[in-house]
Amino acid sequence: MLMSQKPRRSALYMPASNARAIEKARTLEVDVVILDLEDATAPDAKDAARKQAVAEIAKGGFGEREVVLRVNALDTVWGAEDLAVAAGCGADAVLLPKVSGPKALAEARAALGDSGADLWAMIETVRGIVDLRAIAEAAEKYRLVTLVAGTNDLAKELRCRPGSDRAPLLGALGEIVLAARLTGLVAIDGVCNTLTDADVVRAECEQGLRWGFDGKTLIHPAQVAVANRVFTPSDTEIAWSKQILDAFEQPDNAGKGALQLGGQMVELLHLDEARRILSIAQACGVA
């Protein structure tokens, strides 16, 4: 029987201070709701947003959606109190912005405690890219489960102009995926700044999929359906994966490391990938 996993195709940022937006999030077909205390919350609204986030998480009603609380950076005046509240608020995970090394993970885990939420790390600084391997290798110790690309902040630090192809960022995005695969973490792509043009959003999602990301962070509800569609295995992928699985399960192929299927050479690495695709499809409710 295939092991299922939580899909993280779509991770939607919602201002933690906006109760109406959060209520809408409860109705969206989104995999992850990120209640944002950082970028989406003005400095004079931080305290109110923190209280609102705690109240909304306690209220529940998010169904199967993961609920993640993005706190302010640890070196800000709000970071420590955000983490203190996050320790017992019931969120599935805490998203740390501007993670530039394992020290931030250690400080966050100390504040949250061993029984607290999992950690997600925003990789959005030059130092964070340079120290990605150290961050990823500290994942198990500090219960880091997800790397999130912070493409806007990273572009600012690099002083680059990404454009529609995001070419100046592709090296950094590749590093994030490599680090995630090195240590078994989830990798989620950065946001698309075009809000409602589905073609632009789809192109960026497809690019992220080609580069190996598991899903995409989003900033508008209109982007959710596109991200879900792109990061859900297609009917063709599912059918081919089932063929591979069935072929290797045939008694005549027992113990074989490679075989011919549909005019192609299929190896055990393809079997592993087929199992992964079917697991994702199962989690997305399409297999």
- The pLDDT tens digits of the residues spanning 130-185 come to 999 999 999 999 999 999 999 999 999 999 999 999 999 999 999 999 999 999 99
157 a known binding residue? no
pLDDT at 114: 85
70 a known binding residue? yes
Ordered domains of the chain (ranges, CATH):
10-231 (3.20.20.60), 235-283 (no CATH)
252 a known binding residue? no
Q: How confident is the model at residue 3 (pLDDT cuts 50, 70, 90)?
A: very low
Mean pLDDT of 115-137: 95
pLDDT at 6: 85
Q: Is residue 1 scored above 80 in pLDDT?
A: no
**SS3 of the chain:** CCCCCCCCCEEEEEECCCHHHHHHHCCCCCCEEEEECCCCCCHHHHHHHHHHHHHHHHHCCCCCCEEEEECCCCCCCCHHHHHHHHCCCCCCEEEECCCCCHHHHHHHHHHHCCCCCEEEEEECCHHHHHCHHHHHHCHHHHCEEEEEECHHHHHHHHCCCCCCCCHHHHHHHHHHHHHHHHHCCEEEECCCCCCCCHHHHHHHHHHHHHHCCCEEEECCHHHHHHHHHHHCCCHHHHHHHHHHHHHHHCHHHCCCCEEEECCEEEEHHHHHHHHHHHHHHHHCCCC
